[in-house]
Structure 1
């Protein structure tokens, strides 16, 4: 069993928290774009409140532990590991609640290169506990506008976790999927589930547009987010998102394994 102290030490050593790779410049740019309601940063959320850049700095200082000083404009951003631990406990509570009622869940990631293993282990544990892990719209086309223009992807599931791949991507070897912040994949999955008359998820687990897109549509959603992803924390502040765990979302994939063990143990889902 991984203790809270041991996980805190791991968060700092792996730079999942503490001084993280995400720069202050990147985060401030995201806050400016969010304040301007740029859809690239809203990632599916339609905020109810008016959020200026100073408001966002204050929110992110409270939720993540970044500097609350707007005059701090450079250097590495900071995530308070104690805030990460509190959020991981809340994340585990939501997993435990859906597992206790053998509920239906949908998992998806826009960070398959880093976070696929984390979500896949959660999906395996929930399935073993009697939950139904949904996989709607497998193979469906998703057109996403990127900075490189319109890109066509297909929705795929790997060990119960949704991601998008280019249509000609190899099915074995290579990268597991594409990095995206778009809410279109979760909208595609939810629309397909509704149209089929099948069950809808009681809980959506993921990151980026998966969390914001689902939360905006009224589905309970939880996930992970970095300091340059203010939309998830705004969603949490406004009540559209249930739990957001502040953590660097782009470190080595194996560095997230202790987090998986911790939340599954806390949720009494360890296998």
Structure 2
């Protein structure tokens, strides 16, 4: 049984309306102060905010980070806007979903090996699981994480083909790249090829992209690293969205839209 049974896909305009209404995009819950704090910490070299990417000294100016986030995520581009409401442009979200669908179609057409993972299991597990099910049905191999992959005082497990980090019998929200690094290391140790494509978020996506794997990432407006990675062509696509709104079912229309766009040329 698939984790997620997709409903009819919304039109582009219907999806944009839904994204704004649920605050997945538009006026999002993440305050401007939090966004700017994360941009500053990334620029100051705090690797927690690099999400597994190696950014070197290329992004030491907070204003350069803000400029990329305005261009690719749709946050307010005014450097003088220091507090209050910030935004994700829903048009950018849907445009990135279309680009992500193109990567998924390419994977399906090539019967590629794909690894799905999420650091936000409380919100995005169903979305990733539905995509994994769709690609499996299209003939892709969904990469299985080797048993006993231990990392960050926990273990990597899979639900519906989606890798997550478990600690103390709980699924953890994590930004760490260590779980993905552990998975890729275990695959190498077992003589298995790495994935051809990774679809993930947070450090799962950043680590895979840094190791040269084609990667589609999902990222919030306070997680700038993946957008910088896309700007540098390290990630294939980064989809801007609030990655943990109040109910995971709010992501279902987005998932249906993405599935429909993915399947357009694979049926």
**TM-score, length-scaled by structure 2:** 0.93
CA contact (8 A) 2:199 2:217 kept: yes
Task: Quote the residue 1:7 is aligned against.
Answer: 15
- 4+ residue segments displaced more than 6 Å: none
> Which of 213, 223, 229 matches 1:235?
229
Task: Quote the residue 1:214 is aligned against.
Answer: 208
Deviations 1:8-39 (A, max 9, x none): 11111111110001111111011011001101
Q: Are 2:22 and 1:21 aligned?
A: no
Q: Report how many residues are paired.
A: 256
Q: Are 2:257 and 1:256 aligned?
A: no
**Secondary structure at 1:57's aligned position in 2?**
helix
Deviations 1:95-150 (A, max 9, x none): 0000011110011110000000000000010111110001223332102xxxxxxx
Give the 5 Å matches for 1:35-184: 35-47=43-55, 50-51=58-59, 52-143=61-152, 152-166=153-167, 168-169=168-169, 177-184=171-178
CA contact (8 A) 2:25 2:88 kept: yes
Q: Are 2:191 and 1:197 aligned?
A: yes
- Give me the CA root mean square deviation: 1.4
Q: Are 2:238 and 1:267 aligned?
A: no
> Which of 165, 180, 190 matches 1:186?
180
CA contact (8 A) 2:219 2:238 kept: yes
CA contact (8 A) 1:44 1:182 kept: yes
What residue ranges of structure 1 are gaps of 5+ in the alignment? 144-151, 170-174
Whole-angstrom CA distance in 1 between matches of 2:233 and 2:55: 10
**TM-score, length-scaled by structure 1:** 0.91
Whole-angstrom CA distance in 2 between matches of 1:159 and 1:138: 15
**Secondary structure at 2:76's aligned position in 1?**
coil
**Secondary structure at 1:164's aligned position in 2?**
strand
